Structure 1
């Protein structure tokens, strides 16, 4: 049950086992073992946090060990009561509830306390005001914002998240309607502008990072939600990109033609962009840096 949810959550995030291991600072073997039910509870908790995986139907608490304790208390079971049902000693149960112990023990407790536990529905924060005429992930960059992008960075050579009704000017568009997939097809050109489906935010940012790193495009500018709680931003992205947090909200276009204001903060993530272009952009678009630019001295490729 939980093990399947872990694998599904990792795949949904677009993470390899190696990437997940690096995020929570363990070896890849620990992730492989965890996905078959072997390991310790601290690794399990760290993995669930990194994958934004939280179970519904257990108990109201921040972490799985706390949820298990809340579920036991709600049922008015003592440690020995749960021990009889789960085949565990009271000491083992107390260790798991305290955030220690083994994954195998936690799984036994979960089966006894909440056999119907399931992943909490993905947060709807990546979407807003569902447009009844289309998929909720289809949102177009405001033309006035695009003008500032063009002025600072030039006209994009590529829009890997293209759509027939998108106002983005680009020499080439990769569109699903034409059988393309920007997460699969190679990017090309000097400049790619990315306003991705927000439900796959981290996958698109990793794709952009990869396409600049391998030289398929020289620079990428991405307009995305400011989801700065994800470990990826802190462990990787802040060292490889310039991240400008926008002040205020933008009103995105929809297929129905109506404007749709984002109810969350937005940011512009820039890979491989020369400093003079970044300066030109930030002079006209109010905002603030995610991290001081002097901390990002290990940029690639060179923007000199």
Structure 2
């Protein structure tokens, strides 16, 4: 144990008093996103945390629109969220997932001990009964920022990234009598919101044990 040590986000993840435009306005390489669309076989239809100069889909929500307050229903969602408020964005993805056509979210991979990861990712990732898959990316990703002076090696934060992918509800693992493209339709395992029901049950229990909301 390190006496007196307190884990903190790197300055490129959050400002001392909250989000900073120069930190949170960080665009993903368009080619990286196109490669993901090829990999998954479908283009993204909605970018829920974008700016007009870096949107990765024809439809997008800006900071003023507030993607946390909007519906993601019916969309194939791309999200590179503000790193200053990760808990809210991952929680929103779980809430919206049953009504979407899948969600892909790009997050920093250097804080798995933090509450957002321990509560919203670790208990569910890469399990047969869960729609959530994680993919830790090699190296350090280059981002783009408006009006930033970028060196020859690009704008690389001092941490790697991880992709969180919520598979489309109809492709979540069904029961033994169903198939990924044709669930049986009657049992709890084949209900589109089954994984979210499990998440809500667990998360609600955690809130009650802690004596309040999180």
**Shared fold, TM over 0.5:** yes
Could you say which residue in structure 1 is the equivalent of 2:70? Answer: 185
Deviation, structure 1 residue 158: 0.7
Greater radius of gyration (CA): 1
Query: Kindly tell me: are residues 245 and 141 of structure 1, through their superposed partners in 2, closer, same or farther at Cα, counting changes over 3 Å?
Result: same
Deviation, structure 1 residue 268: 0.6
Deviant stretches of 4+, over 6 Å: none
CA distance in 1 between counterparts of 2:76 and 2:65 reads: 19
Q: Which runs of 5+ in 2 are unaligned?
A: 15-19, 172-188, 194-214
CA distance in 1 between counterparts of 2:106 and 2:7 reads: 25
Q: Which runs of 5+ in 1 are unaligned?
A: 1-58, 63-119, 277-297
TM-score (normalizing by structure 1) = 0.45
Q: 1:158 aligns with which of 35, 46, 69?
A: 46
Do the aligned residues in 2 keep the contact of 1:208 with 1:220 (CA within 8 Å)? yes
Do the aligned residues in 2 keep the contact of 1:198 with 1:224 (CA within 8 Å)? yes
CA distance in 1 between counterparts of 2:46 and 2:146 reads: 21
Compute the RMSD of aligned alpha carbons: 3.1
Cα shift readout 1:246-292 (whole Å, capped 9, x = no counterpart): 1111100101253311211211100024899xxxxxxxxxxxxxxxx
Return 181-190 or 139-148, whichever deviates more: 181-190
TM-score (normalizing by structure 2) = 0.63
**Secondary structure, in 3 states, of the residue corresponding to 2:96?**
helix
Q: 2:122 aligns with which of 231, 234, 253?
A: 234
- Whether 1:246 and 2:141 are equivalent positions in the alignment is no
Q: Which has the higher contact order (CA 8 A, sep 6+)?
A: 2
**Secondary structure, in 3 states, of the residue corresponding to 1:183?**
helix
CA distance in 2 between counterparts of 1:206 and 1:247 reads: 25
Matched residue count: 157
